[in-house]
C-alpha cells in the first residue's frame, strides 16, 4: 500500500475522534458503515456515526441476514454529544442523531426521496459544524445522492460545495475566499480537479488563469503536508494533444501555460500542460505525484478505472479534514448486504493519516 493511503497504524484507536456521516439512508452507506465497524474494530475506535439510529439498526439487520442470519453482536449505542464516545462500550455502533424528523418512517431502499436527502444533508451539516468547532478532528462522509439533495431543497449539488459553504460561513467570508478542490486518490494515482460538478460546457468555461493557478496552489500546499516534500505536479491539457501548439485550441497557450509559469515562480514543481491521453500513464509509472485535471471526467475516469474499492475522495482547501469513499449510493444493490466497505475503510485510514500530517 502506498504511503499516501497508509493507515496511521495501531495508534489510530487511541487517536482523535472522527465523525462519520451515514450518507443517503436509501443507499449503501449505512451497510458499509456496519461492515467497517464489524471488520475493523481497532480502526473504528474513536469514530462517531452521525445519522439516525434506526437507519443503522436496519443496516445491521441487512448485513446479518446477508451473512446467513448468524450472530452479529453490533448493538447501536445512541449518543447525545461527541464526548459520550469516551464511555461508549466496545463492539458497538456509536450513533449521534442530528435530529432530522422521519415522518414517513425509514426511506425505502434504492429510491430517491426528499426525506432521505434531508437526513443525509443534516448529518453532513452537523458533522461539519462539529469539526469546525473542534469537537471532532476529521469528517468522513458516506455517499449521498444528488437528486435526493435537490428534492430536499438543498442548494448545493454535493458534499464539496456544501462543506465549502459551511466553512466559509464559519470563517465569515464569501465562497470566493474559501476555494476548495476535489482530489481522488488510490494506491496508484492522485488527481485534483479544476472544476467539479458542473456541465461540460461550464467546465470548459471554468478553465481560467485564476482557477488553474488556485488549483495548483491548493495542490502544492496540501500535498506538501502529506508527503513532507514538494509534490511533483503534472497539469493535463484541456484539448487533444494539449492543443498541439494552438492547432486544436489556444487554452493551453493562453491560460494553462501562464498559470503553470506563475506556479513555478511560487516554488511549485509543475510540468505541463501535458497531453491528457498520456499524462496518467506517466504518473502511474512514478514520474509525477499528482495530476491536475481540467474537468471532472478527465480526472476521475482514470482513477476509477483502477478500482473504486480503493479510491478515496479528499477535499483540499478546507480548514478541516474531509475524506469519503470513491463511489456513490449504489441504489441497485442497497438493502442486499452486498456492499463492499473497502473504499470507506480506506477513507477512514486516509483521514487518520491527514490528521497527523
What is the rounded average pLDDT of the residues 263-292? 96
Q: What percent of the chain has pLDDT over 90?
A: 77
Distance CA 339, CA 305 (A): 18
pLDDT at position 7 over 60: no
Give every CB contact of residue 272 below 8 A, 6+ residues apart in sequence: 233, 234, 235, 236, 237, 242, 256, 257, 260, 279, 292
* Average pLDDT over the chain, rounded to an integer: 90
Q: What percent of the chain has pLDDT over 70?
A: 94
Distance CA 91, CA 159 (A): 29
**Band of residue 278 on the pLDDT scale cut at 50, 70, 90:** very high
Tell me which of 6-10, 72-76, 125-129, 132-136 is least confident. Answer: 6-10
Give every CB contact of residue 55 below 8 A, 6+ residues apart in sequence: 22, 25, 30, 106, 119
Q: What share of the chain is helix, strand, coil (3-state, %, to 5)?
A: 45, 15, 40
pLDDT at position 11 over 50: no
Distance CA 319, CA 161 (A): 14
Set out the domains of the chain in order of their start, with CATH numbers. Answer: 1-179+337-357 (3.40.718.10), 189-305 (3.40.718.10)
Where is pLDDT greater, at 354 or 256?
Answer: 256
What's the pLDDT at 13?
38
Distance CA 83, CA 136 (A): 9
Distance CA 239, CA 300 (A): 17
Is 268 in contact with 221 (CB distance < 8 Å)? no
Is 315 in contact with 322 (CB distance < 8 Å)? yes
- Residue 228: count other Cβ atoms within 10 Å of its Cβ: 9
Per-residue pLDDT tens for 85-112?
Answer: 988 888 899 999 998 878 888 999 999 9
- Residue 147 DSSP SS3: helix
Nearest-CA neighbor of 329 among 161, 112, 95, 65?
Answer: 112
What's the pLDDT at 351?
94
**Band of residue 71 on the pLDDT scale cut at 50, 70, 90:** low
- Residue 9 DSSP SS3: coil
What's the pLDDT at 91?
84
**Band of residue 311 on the pLDDT scale cut at 50, 70, 90:** confident
Per-residue pLDDT tens for 205-259?
Answer: 999 999 999 999 999 999 998 899 999 999 999 999 998 999 999 999 999 999 9
- Residue 140 DSSP SS3: strand
What's the pLDDT at 307?
72
What is the rounded average pLDDT of the residues 177-187? 92
What is the rounded average pLDDT of the residues 16-43? 95
Q: Is the peptide bond before 246 cis (omega within 30 degrees of 0)?
A: no
Amino acid at each position: 500500500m502506498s504511503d499516501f493511503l497508509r493507515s496511521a497504524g495501531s495508534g489510530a484507536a487511541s487517536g482523535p475522534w472522527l465523525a462519520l456521516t451515514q450518507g443517503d439512508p436509501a443507499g449503501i452507506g449505512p451497510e458499509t458503515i456496519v461492515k467497517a465497524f464489524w471488520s475493523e474494530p481497532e480502526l473504528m475506535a474513536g469514530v462517531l456515526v452521525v445519522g439516525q439510529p434506526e437507519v443503522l439498526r436496519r443496516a445491521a439487520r441487512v448485513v446479518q441476514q446477508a451473512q446467513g442470519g448468524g450472530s452479529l453482536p453490533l448493538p447501536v449505542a445512541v449518543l447525545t454529544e461527541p464526548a459520550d464516545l469516551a464511555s461508549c462500550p466496545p463492539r458497538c455502533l456509536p450513533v449521534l442523531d442530528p435530529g432530522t424528523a422521519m415522518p414517513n418512517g425509514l426511506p425505502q431502499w434504492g429510491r430517491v426521496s426528499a426525506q432521505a436527502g434531508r437526513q443525509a444533508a443534516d448529518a453532513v451539516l452537523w458533522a461539519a459544524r462539529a469539526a469546525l468547532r473542534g469537537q471532532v478532528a476529521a469528517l468522513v462522509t458516506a455517499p449521498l445522492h444528488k437528486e435526493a439533495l435537490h428534492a430536499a431543497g438543498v442548494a448545493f449539488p454535493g458534499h464539496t460545495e456544501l462543506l465549502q459553504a459551511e466553512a466559509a460561513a464559519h470563517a465569515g467570508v464569501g465562497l470566493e475566499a474559501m476555494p476548495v478542490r476535489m482530489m481522488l486518490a488510490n494506491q496508484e494515482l492522485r488527481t485534483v480537479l479544476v472544476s467539479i460538478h458542473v456541465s461540460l460546457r461550464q467546465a470548459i468555461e471554468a478553465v481560467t488563469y485564476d482557477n488553474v493557478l488556485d488549483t495548483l496552489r491548493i495542490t502544492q500546499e496540501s500535498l506538501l503536508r502529506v508527503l513532507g516534500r514538494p509534490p511533483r505536479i503534472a497539469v493535463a491539457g484541456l484539448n487533444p494533444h494539449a492543443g498541439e501548439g494552438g492547432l486544436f485550441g489556444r487554452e493551453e497557450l493562453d491560460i494553462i501555460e501562464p498559470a503553470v509559469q506563475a506556479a513555478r515562480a511560487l516554488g511549485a514543481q509543475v510540468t505541463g500542460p501535458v497531453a491528457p491521453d498520456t499524462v496518467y500513464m506517466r504518473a502511474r509509472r512514478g514520474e509525477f505525484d499528482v495530476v491536475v485535471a481540467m474537468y471532472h471526467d478527465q480526472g476521475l475516469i482514470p482513477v476509477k478505472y483502477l478500482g473504486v474499492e480503493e479510491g478515496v475522495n479528499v477535499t483540499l482547501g478546507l480548514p478541516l479534514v474531509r475524506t469519503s469513499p470513491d463511489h456513490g449510493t449504489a441504489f441497485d444493490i442497497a438493502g442486499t448486504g452486498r456492499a463492499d466497505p473497502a473504499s470507506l475503510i480506506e477513507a477512514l485510514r486516509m483521514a487518520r493519516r491527514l490528521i497527523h500530517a
